[in-house]
Chains A and B, each alone.
Chain A
Amino acid sequence: MADAGAGSLHGGDSALSCLPEEQELSQRLRRLYPAVNQEETPLPRSWSPKDKYNYIGLSQGNLRVHYKGHGKNHKDAASVRATHPIPAACGIYYFEVKIVSKGRDGYMGIGLSAQGVNMNRLPGWDKHSYGYHGDDGHSFCSSGTGQPYGPTFTTGDVIGCCVNLINNTCFYTKNGHSLGIAFTDLPLPAMISNQFMELLQEYIQHLFKSNLYPTVGLQTPGEIVDANFGQQPFVFDIEDYMREWRAKIQGTIKRFPIGDRLGEWQAMLQNMVSSYLVHHGYCSTAAAFARITDTTIQEEQTSIKNRQRIQKLVLAGRVGEAIEATQQLYPGLLEHNPNLLFMLKCRQFVEMVNGTDSEVRCFSARSPRSQDSYPGSPNLSPRRGSNNSHVHSTGADSPTCSNGVLSTKIKQSCSKYQALSSSSSSSSSSSPSSVNYSESNSTDSTKSQQHSSTSNQETRHLAFLSFFYLSDSEMEMEAEHYPNGVLENSSTRIMNGTYKHEEILQTDESSMEDNCPQRQLCGGNHAATERMIQFGRELQTLSEQLCREYGKNTMHKKMLQDAFSLLAYSDPWNCPVGQQLDPIQREPVCAALNSAILESQNLPKQPPLMLALGQASECLRLMARVGLGSCSFARVDDYLH
């Protein structure tokens, strides 16, 4: 969810400054090269105004190239490179050049060159430079003399250049027709040695040097060419060519020979499935699987059941009970893992806000109104527990997109917060919320009247917040990132094993959202709110204590901040930090606790299946980095259904 949120925010940002063509370009590039991480390795989008000879003029968004030199002889040749080299993760890269005018003699060259190659030349004449020339139709492979290659080209023709980073070849197209291989053995590194870690560094450096850029060169006055890096649909059907290679690579994977010793492979697969089921506590499924495949389970049944029980509690949002159960079943575990305990307690706090934790639920149980809002714990009810249908898609579970009036609500709460904080002299000037969301505070304040009934509560929130902020001078509010942000993202994907489980548990609760959009803090119960505030103080104390014992922990600080920030809003579910209340956020906590328990039992803290998956993903990332293009046609996602 965090991923999607960040993505859409980013997209929105760029949409403001982008023309429709730009957007089309971005879309086409993403579709053509889905494996390319454009943050790490940007794709060529135009010619570089810096990396060109001065006889070259650029116009039309640096896509049109014209010659402005004397054009007397080959010494007047001039080239321009694209802004970025071709990333290996493209697998297959393609661009087209339209000859707008052949000028005086039509001495035009289209091709590739590495950075640093002399720009006072046509592509193909020098080392690490490759070109196809219009006047004679010859190809130039790092040499002043060309080889007969294809037809000549002139005004009106569209010439395409395709780099295949899987077999390191290059071919050209003319008006949509493939002309056949022009170059083999392009200087892209290929894995040769077994001691590859040692050579990795070397490869990367080598790669850096020989990375190829789209390049065009012109030599006589009047020559004009336009590039198409994906701005427009290509004349040649490059996607069909990509399809062929995707099928080839997937075929290779499919036919990859596996150990010749019969049965060994099967046993390994069974073991992986079994350990996965056990890990996530699918007790009876694991038992059934073991029975059918005639294998044994490493862990005892009771142990699996215990873990399953604890996991269920966490996933149902009853973290307090989960902590109790853990302490009871695995004494000493949490004491030895203060970080885990802190994470659990933070989650418990969030669940209190949510009104799901048992410490606040015991209050709400007496209130008939809140009973309506939160009818019993889903997993306690046998009826719902046996309900196995996947009622909700994952998207519908997300609170941020389930509500159409989301944006106005944020504005309301923010403006209210602004008003209140300005009236409160105790508020620290570096309040994180006001910094982060000040851009939306221009809304009219009249709307705040609608919520005057809850203003009492809000005053208390604020007092509560200021209590924390003032009492902890160390809590400087600054934008911090999870140090393992990448890991978090990938773990949500890996976590999808527990997903269905989650859906079942949350079915009733999420369906409630439609009925009562206005959920209330701690189920709207006064006593529960008191309890929550008290718990918050305890949590704060625990944080300080941990800080004293183990030193500062930025992760803890961030967690605590995020949790407490919920109270700054009248409707925490629809606030910028409301994401925490999403039941999906229980999953990482649950996984961490589960892993810790397993580790304490001397069992692997991650199932081998996940390790294998993680390794495959990491391997593909590594391939992209060292220039093995086939990685782009073998995505891990293609194999996960």
Chain B
Amino acid sequence: MACVLEAPLRMSVLSEVTASSRHYVDRLFDLDPQKVLQGVIDMKNAVIGNNKQKANLIVLGAVPRLLYLLQQETSSTELRTECAVVLGSLAMGTENNVKSLLDCHIIPALLQGLLSPDLKFIEACLRCLRTIFISPVTPEDLLYTDATVISHLMALLSRSRYTQEYICQIFSHCCKLQHWHSCGFKSLPQPLLCANGPDHQTILFNHGAVQNIAHLLVSTSYKVRMQALKCFSVLAFENPQVSMTLVNGKHKVLVDGELLPQIFVKMLQRDKPVEMQLTSAKCLTSMCRAGAIRTDDSCIVLKTLPCLVRMCSKERLLEERVEGAETLAYLIETDVELQRIASITDHLIVMLADYFKYPSSVSAITDIKRLDHDLKHAHELRQAAFKLYASLGANDEDIRKKIIETENMMDRIVNGLSESSIKVRLAAVRCLHSLSRSVQQLRTSFQDHAVWKPLMKVLQNAPNEILVVASSTLCNLLLEFSPSKEPILESGAIELLCSLTQSENLALRVNGIWALMNVAFQAEQKIKSDILRGLSTEQLFQLLSDSDVNVLMKTLGLLRNLLSTRPHIDHIMSTHGKQIMQAVTLILEGEHNIEVKEQTLCILANIADGTTAKELIMTNDDILQKIKYYMSHSNAKLQLAAMFCISNLVWNEEEGSQERQDKLRDMGIVDILHKLSQSSDPNLCDKAKTALQQYLA
């Protein structure tokens, strides 16, 4: 019975609500403009803080009508203003509300409204635009569809503190598209900028954003100061052009007689709101990374860096700690001195360990709300800590040691490698990569914690972002002194690495071939064969003609490592001799830099060291002529490498040395050797004399 009764009751309540909402919408169509105005004002009061009412009104089609009234020239300014206020209020609701507004083409309508002479109306439009643009569902590009919009917004900056606040806020939310994911790690390939035209930062910059916004940094309104500062932090992020202008553009930007960096430093003062300190530190960080401020400048060393370390402290909010750690990681990423200072400041390394303690066991029991909050930030905290550890340990062995000695550090990394969140996995791999540069750690803690296992797992089907760092880490773990090398190979690393060399992604190709080179170093015959089989000759030649010099160098390095110790040389040359000789000829004939040619000559020298492989050179007059040519090359390194070849060929303890010596003498090699034995370069001189001795014996 109760159920039966209850249902209609609910229905009636619902219909009542809809009815009242409909009433609001109906009033927008009244013929009397005065009544329409009153209707809009009543609607404004009805929707404030009432998401349900907002949704109802949108469903009932209030938006198009409001937009119509807003755009109508005949509407009074007051009515148009109230319409903009109601639309702004609707935008404050759920993301669905914003989507509905966007579907009604609200943005062009509001942008059109900005051309009105009435300041109140302009402010209402800007406020609404602001609310729409800060929503994550709004595409930033909508601001840039009409070229005149930006310059008009710049002009409106002088109108009032509200236009200043809203416009700065719009700019800072419509400018981060390209850089959002990278978080400033230059070591990773950047996503390419939009093919169609300059990026948002450049557009804003070209419209004089720096000059127009700079003086707002000293506005009397805190909100304006703050939004202007945020705008700069977004504009300068990874943008050398903006960063340089902030410091010392052609026309120095002075505000109240001070340079912008000085103003930012003032905003770092410890009694300023945390938000301001943090944002200001981000500006200075970008400027420093762009090279506009030196890394040893006191405003970086004594102000920005300590400020960012403070942002990592337990007293700060979780969001602030995440941002602080990420920004600090970016600031110190490439400067060992900054890494050293950060490592001793306020026990940062220990402080970061706290980032892994969310959600804490206490929060789970006592407070559901806090648990929820902690859970939401737990991933972000962990990845931020990993990133900062990665930067801290990038160069200094002592710091790496300190990091690894932090409580449960290796376990945390190992766990991080298998987390579901890609961001955390990526950061954990990055941290591991940084720590893997330590010979000592590779031999000890990496082995103790069998780090290679989760790392190999990460490499399976991971997105390229992770693969790049993970394979780079693998490179280090495959160095010959690493105890992890064997188990990694046993778990099928060669196959994986060979497949990486076929990747479209350049960094992956480099890492793949680099790792294979490391694997081949002083490896046993079986492994070398595995590599050759895994790669296939075809792929090997593909790599030797790769457009990237790094790939070419590592491939040559791999060949050189493969062609070491006599039996291996003879074995490989017997199966792949023809192709290899072909490749070597090609490279020596091609337009390559000295290093590549040197490496190639070294390969020849290795081949010349073989027993049967020697003949492949001796029967190839073309190659012999080339060796002869490089003996007289202007570059000593190449001369030396060529001499190694000759030396190996004329070595007289070996079978058939006499014939080889004769042949080479006939070619005029001995004359060159005599000339070189007078060389001022002691290395060349020595080598030439040794070779000549072989003739005497």
Tell me the A residues contacting B by CB distance below 8 Å. 150-151, 174, 176-181, 237, 240-241, 243-244, 246-247
Contact = CB atoms under 8 A, between A and B. Distances in A.
Interface stretch (B130-138, B322-330, B338-346): B338-346
A181 B347 CA distance: 8
A178 B310 CA distance: 10
Contact of A179 (B301, B302, B303, B346): B346
Contact of A243 (B270, B303, B346): B270
A247 B344 contact: no
Contact of B271 (A174, A180, A237, A244): A244
Contact of A246 (B271, B303, B341): B271
A177 B306 contact: yes
Given A244-B270, A247-B271, A151 B302 contact: no
A37 B301 CA distance: 36
Contacts of A244: 270-271
Contacts of B344: 150-151, 174, 177, 179
B302 A237 contact: yes
A240 B341 CA distance: 19
Contact of B306 (A151, A174, A178): A178
A247 B276 CA distance: 15
A243 B269 contact: yes
11 contacts: A176-B302, A179-B344, A179-B345, A179-B346, A180-B345, A180-B347, A237-B303, A240-B269, A240-B270, A247-B270, A247-B271
A174 B271 CA distance: 23
B271 A243 contact: yes
Nearest to B302: A176
Closest 7 CB pairs of A and B: A244-B270, A247-B271, A180-B347, A243-B271, A180-B346, A151-B344, A240-B270
A177 B341 CA distance: 8
Contacts of A247: 270-271
Contacts of A246: 271
Interface string B258-291: 0000000000011100000000000000000000
Give the secondary structure class of A's interface: mixed
Contacts of A179: 344-347
Query: Which of B301, B302, B303, B341 has the most chain A CB within a 10 Å cutoff?
Result: B302
Interface in B339-360: 341, 344-347, 351
Contacts of A241: 270
Interface residues of B, number: 13
B269 A177 contact: no
Nearest to B350: A180
A195 to B, nearest CB: 33
Given A177-B344, A237-B303, A244-B271, 20 more contacts: A150-B344, A151-B344, A174-B344, A176-B301, A176-B302, A177-B302, A177-B306, A178-B346, A179-B344, A179-B346, A179-B347, A180-B345, A180-B347, A180-B351, A181-B347, A240-B270, A241-B270, A243-B271, A244-B270, A246-B271
Contacts of A151: 344
A551 B303 CA distance: 67
Interface in B306-334: 306
B310 to A, nearest CB: 9
A176 B344 CA distance: 11
Contacts of B303: 237
Interface string B342-386: 001111000100000000000000000000000000000000000
A145 to B, nearest CB: 19
A181 B302 CA distance: 18
Query: Which of A176, A177, A241, A243 has the most chain B CB within a 10 Å cutoff?
Result: A177
A239 to B, nearest CB: 9
Contacts of A174: 344
A390 B341 CA distance: 55
Contacts of B345: 177-180
Nearest to A182: B347
Nearest to A171: B346
A164 to B, nearest CB: 13
A178 B347 CA distance: 9
A473 to B, nearest CB: 63
A246 B269 CA distance: 12
Query: Which of B269, B303, B341, B344 has the most chain A CB within a 10 Å cutoff?
Result: B344
Contacts of B302: 176-177, 237
Contacts of A237: 302-303
Contacts of B271: 243-244, 246-247
A244 B277 CA distance: 12
Query: Which of B301, B306, B351 has the most chain A CB within a 10 Å cutoff?
Result: B306
A247 B271 CA distance: 6
Contacts of B306: 177-178
A38 to B, nearest CB: 26
Interface string B642-686: 000000000000000000000000000000000000000000000
A455 B347 CA distance: 79
Contacts of A181: 347
A85 B34 CA distance: 77
A174 B301 CA distance: 13
Nearest to A251: B271
A178 B348 CA distance: 11
A225 to B, nearest CB: 20
A243 B269 CA distance: 8
A150 B348 CA distance: 11
B544 to A, nearest CB: 49
Query: Which of B341, B347, B351 has the most chain A CB within a 10 Å cutoff?
Result: B347
B481 to A, nearest CB: 30
A177 B303 CA distance: 10
B233 to A, nearest CB: 21
A246 B272 CA distance: 11
